[in-house]
Amino acid sequence: MTTEKNAAAEERIRQLLHTLGKAYLERRQFAEAYAKLSQLLQLDPDNAEVLEETALAAIGSRDVSATALALYEKAVAAQPNAEHLLTALATLFSTHQ
């Protein structure tokens, strides 16, 4: 039962971090979004949606660097057929090299 409670608590933390991160993105509070989404990535490092949102937060924070590129590359690796991820990665790569 303790394991189930721990799993449920961890899932709730994931949900809260994701909700906060997305809310900060919508409000264009990119540094805050990046902080929450980065925390979420520690719990769920292969989640393509969260990788993309974290990359968007990094870009919004003017951190168009290896960080944003690496996040998009990992998102594409998780979902190689996601055209929007491929397009975003290509655009980011071509405009910031």
Q: Where residue 77 sits, what CATH number does that domain have? A: 1.25.40.10
- Tell me: the pLDDT tens digits for 80-93? 888 888 887 777 77
Q: Domain span at residue 37?
A: 2-95
Neighbours of 45 (CB within 10 A): 11
- Tell me: the pLDDT tens digits for 43-96? 999 898 998 899 889 888 876 677 778 888 888 888 888 888 888 777 777 776
Q: Three-state DSSP class for 79?
A: coil
Distance CA 77, CA 60 (A): 22
**Number of folded domains that form the chain:** 1
51: enclosing H helix or E strand? helix 48-60
Considering the entire predicted model, what is its pTM? 0.76
